Amino acid sequence: MASNTDKASYQAGEAKAHTEEKAGQVTGATKDKACEAKDQAADAAGHATGKGQDTTEAAKQKAGEAGSKTSETAQAAKDKVSETAEAAKQKASEATGDTHDKTSHAAQDTKDSAVAGTDNTGSVIGQAGDQVKNAVAGAKDAVANTLGMGGDTTTKDTSST
């Protein structure tokens, strides 16, 4: 019969895998949007060729930088989600009192990172950042609920008077 620690570790592993899968999907969608933005910028630059070669080159360079920055931010978010899920799995196996605090800190760091990434890359990655934050929050909640630290505010008084 598996112990509660083993069950918690297994469920944390499942949460990690789900989070990594979502992060992979978000990364793919973000890369696709970055490529579309880059292509649109390149097309717009191509139409402006008659107005000067310098303008075209500057637009292409900016589009390339934007696509590069978006890809880097998406990868960083995916890496951060992966690190957070791994940390949650380790804490579940330890089953100590500080598990909830450390998982909350890791989730907050990931959330802050995703918010910063969203601010830096603009609307192209805005939706992706929200999805990553929701996936991380879901993983954190799954770990907390697995360990019995969920937000259940209904308690039963089992003591006799």
| pLDDT per residue as tens digits for the range 67-101 | 788 888 888 888 888 888 787 777 655 644 465 56
d(C-alpha 144, C-alpha 138), whole Å? 10
Q: Which residue intervals of the chain are DSSP H helices?
A: 4-47, 53-94, 99-121, 123-146
Least confident of 78-82, 123-127, 137-141: 123-127
**SS3 label, residue 2:** coil
Instruction: Say what angle helices 4-47 and 123-146 make with each other, to 10 degrees.
Output: 180
Q: Which residues, other chains included, contact 136 with Cβ-Cβ below 8 Å and sequence gap of 6+?
A: 19, 81, 84, 107, 110, 111, 114
pLDDT (tens digit, 9 = 90+) per residue, 36-79?
988 888 887 666 655 666 666 777 888 788 778 888 888 888 88
Phi, psi (rounded to 5 degrees) for 98: -90, 5
Tokens of 28: 């793919």
Q: Which of 57, 58, 74, 154 is CA-nearest to residue 117?
A: 74
